């Protein structure tokens, strides 16, 4: 069997040992690096399928590791960090990380994030552009060709901006998208840095999509970071 290889970049030996045992028992091949430099040299020789990166490393900032990896690789990077600062998460995501986990995290959460990130990268490699397939989660369906969103088969009327926001999140379903990533995609690179307009649109979207907008089941808020849309069930 061709196992997926995970490069675990973590300087705390106990966390490293525990995480690699957990990953191995779930069928992944694991290599560990305890410094940024070791990680970068291993990365080019190992060609891992996924990176699990601790932001607080002894020799360099994890943010720099992300930037270096992104100069040559699109491989998924999941940031694992004790930092609870929302700003750090946003920075890591905008630097090219795919997702983040805050320590301490549960095994099932870690496994779910890894599966989601791998699915996205496999889809990209195989050229399965999600725009060709409808998105489906619970009662919600999006037909990207016809630009139609239905709930329980009934069309939902969204403005063009609202549609763009939902379609963008759906194309990256399961992953958190930062406010600025959504803003850039919808309003372009010169969008205002204030995300009020996005929050106003999201409130309207939720009123149209969610039975109870205060307890959304389709689009979740990651406070201070961005939005995460429920994983496309067609790919589960
Ligand atoms: Ca650390």
Helix/strand/coil (H/E/C) assignment for every residue in the chain: CCCCEEEEECCCHHHHHHHHHHHHHCCCEEEEECCHHHHHHHHHHHCCCEEEEECECCCCEHHHHHHHHHCCCCCCEEEEECCCCHHHHHHHHHCCCCEEEECCCCHHHHHHHHHHHHHHHHHHHCCCCHHHCCEEECCEEEECCCCEEEECCEECCCCHHHHHHHHHHHHCCCCEEEHHHHHHHHHCCCCCCCCHHHHHHHHHHHHHHCCCCCCCCCEEEECCCEEEECCCHHHC
Average pLDDT, the chain: 89
What's the 98 CA to ligand 1 centre distance in angstroms?
Answer: 19
What's the 95 CA to ligand 1 centre distance in angstroms?
Answer: 19
What's the 170 CA to ligand 1 centre distance in angstroms?
Answer: 33
What's the 96 CA to ligand 1 centre distance in angstroms?
Answer: 20
pLDDT confidence tier of residue 29, bands split at 50, 70 and 90: very high
pLDDT tens string 155-196: 999 998 999 999 999 989 999 999 989 998 888 777 777 889
Q: Which residue carries 């410094």 as its tokens?
A: 35
Which tokens hold the place of 175?
């992953």
What's the 58 CA to ligand 1 centre distance in angstroms?
Answer: 7
Backbone dihedral angles phi then psi of residue 26, each to the nearest 5 degrees: -95, 15
Distances (CA, A) of 131 to 75, 135, 169: 21, 9, 12
Say what percent of the chain tops pLDDT 70: 94
What's the 233 CA to ligand 1 centre distance in angstroms?
Answer: 35
What's the 117 CA to ligand 1 centre distance in angstroms?
Answer: 22
Give the N- to C-terminal CA distance of the chain in Å, as an integer. Answer: 21
Q: How far apart are CA 67 and CA 62, in angstroms?
A: 9
Distances (CA, A) of 167 to 139, 163, 174: 16, 6, 13
Q: How far apart are CA 189 and CA 181, in angstroms?
A: 9
What's the 50 CA to ligand 1 centre distance in angstroms?
Answer: 19
What's the 224 CA to ligand 1 centre distance in angstroms?
Answer: 23
Q: Has residue 129 got a pLDDT over 90?
A: no
- pLDDT value for 146: 84
What's the 6 CA to ligand 1 centre distance in angstroms?
Answer: 18
Considering only residues 192 and 139, tell me which one the structure prediction assigns the higher pLDDT.
139
What's the 78 CA to ligand 1 centre distance in angstroms?
Answer: 14
What's the 29 CA to ligand 1 centre distance in angstroms?
Answer: 22
């Amino acid at each position: 069997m061709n196992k997926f290889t995970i490069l675990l970049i973590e300087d705390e030996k106990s966390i490293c040992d525990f995480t690699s045992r957990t990953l191995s028992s779930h069928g992944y091949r694991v290599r560990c690096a305890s410094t940024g430099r070791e990680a970068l040299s291993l990365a080019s020789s190992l060609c891992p399928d996924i990176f699990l990166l601790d932001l607080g490393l002894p020799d360099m900032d994890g943010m720099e590791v992300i930037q270096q990896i992104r100069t040559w690789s699109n491989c998924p990077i999941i940031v694992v960090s004790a930092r609870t600062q929302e700003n750090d998460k946003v920075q890591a995501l905008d630097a090219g990380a795919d997702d983040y986990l805050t320590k301490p995290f549960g095994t099932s959460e870690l496994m779910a994030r890894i599966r989601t990130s791998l699915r996205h990268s496999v889809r990209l490699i195989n050229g399965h552009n999600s725009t060709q397939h409808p998105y489906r989660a619970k009662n919600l369906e999006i037909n990207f060709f016809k630009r139609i969103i239905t709930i329980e088969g009934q069309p939902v009327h969204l403005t063009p901006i609202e549609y763009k926001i939902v379609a963008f999140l759906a194309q990256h379903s399961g992953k958190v998208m930062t406010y600025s990533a959504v803003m850039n995609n919808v309003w372009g690179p010169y969008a205002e840095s204030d995300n009020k307009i996005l929050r106003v649109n999201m409130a309207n979207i939720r009123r149209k999509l969610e039975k109870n907008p205060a307890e959304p089941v389709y689009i979740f808020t990651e406070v201070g970071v961005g939005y995460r849309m429920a994983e496309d069930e067609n790919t589960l």
